[in-house]
């Protein structure tokens, strides 16, 4: 009886340890690899927009660079500035790879975010940050291509299609997309990703020059 009990205890312990190891291995497995396979053809796409200097920019102009693409709007009270600061800090951590990386802020609010407005806005963040705007149609297409959600809401967070004033907010998804030099989707970072997480991923993916 006693030996049986010990045997059962040892077995339970081994089983528990195996489960723990398996969970640990799952956690360690790079998530971007799983995302990569699933999302390569699904996220991103061609665009022709206007940058903060009024210059036309297409996706192909950025080929050869790793892109950090963020969709937001310059009137955003908190989420966008937080994320753009985070992206800027992550870029400061990968100075040896900075020539390979282009951070891009694409507005989801092109009606208020003119090139001039964006010029002023992006200057608050990283010197390499480019702001892009375009027609409502262009932006709508790109939102679909990146599966980005963004709608006009009033001060109570209620959707409002035609606000009476310019005093509206945009409820929008806050991912940062990492695109490869061929324009292909590599992975995205959630709002919870820290500057360190972004920097470490960039270090893993981008070779030093």
Query: What is the Cα–Cα distance from 85 to 196, expressed in whole angstroms?
Result: 12
Question: C-beta of 110: minimal distance to Ni ion in Å?
Answer: 14
Question: C-beta of 193: minimal distance to Ni ion in Å?
Answer: 15
Question: C-beta of 170: minimal distance to Ni ion in Å?
Answer: 7
Site residues for Ni ion, window 48-77 (CB under 5 A)?
Answer: 72, 76
Query: What is the Cα–Cα distance from 119 to 53, expressed in whole angstroms?
Result: 7
Angle, CA of 183, 186 and 187, to the nearest 5°:
130
Question: Quick one: 69 or 80, whose CB is closer to Ni ion?
Answer: 80
Question: Quick one: 62 or 70, whose CB is closer to Ni ion?
Answer: 70
Query: What is the Cα–Cα distance from 128 to 179, expressed in whole angstroms?
Result: 16
What is the contact mask toward Ni ion in residues 72 to 91, using x (rule: CB under 5 A)?
A: x---x--xx-----------
Query: What is the Cα–Cα distance from 124 to 157, expressed in whole angstroms?
Result: 26
Which residue's CB comes closest to Ni ion? 76
Query: What is the Cα–Cα distance from 125 to 118, expressed in whole angstroms?
Result: 11
| Number of shown-chain residues binding Ni ion (CB under 5 A) | 4
Question: Quick one: 130 or 206, whose CB is closer to Ni ion?
Answer: 130
Question: C-beta of 75: minimal distance to Ni ion in Å?
Answer: 8
Query: What is the Cα–Cα distance from 208 to 190, expressed in whole angstroms?
Result: 25
Give the interface with Ni ion as residue ranges (CB under 5 A): 72, 76, 79-80
């Amino acid at each position: 009886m006693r030996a049986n009990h010990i045997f059962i205890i040892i077995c339970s312990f081994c089983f528990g340890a195996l489960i723990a190891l398996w969970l640990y291995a799952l956690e360690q497995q790079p998530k971007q690899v799983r995302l990569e396979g699933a999302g390569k053809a699904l996220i991103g796409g061609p665009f022709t927009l206007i940058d903060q200097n009024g210059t036309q920019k297409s996706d192909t102009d950025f080929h050869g660079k790793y892109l950090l693409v963020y969709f937001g709007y310059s009137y955003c009270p908190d989420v966008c500035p937080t994320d753009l600061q985070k992206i800027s800090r992550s870029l400061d951590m990968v100075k040896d790879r900075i020539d390979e990386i282009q951070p891009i802020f694409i507005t989801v609010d092109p009606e208020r975010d003119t090139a001039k407005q964006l010029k002023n806005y992006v200057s608050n963040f990283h010197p390499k940050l480019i702001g892009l705007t375009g027609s409502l149609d262009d932006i709508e297409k790109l939102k679909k291509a990146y599966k980005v959600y963004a709608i006009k809401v009033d001060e109570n967070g209620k959707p409002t299609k035609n606000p009476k004033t310019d005093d509206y907010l945009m409820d929008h998804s806050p991912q940062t997309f990492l695109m490869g030099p061929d324009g292909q989707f590599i992975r995205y970072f959630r709002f919870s990703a820290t500057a360190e997480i972004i920097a470490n991923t960039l270090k893993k993916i981008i070779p030093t020059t």
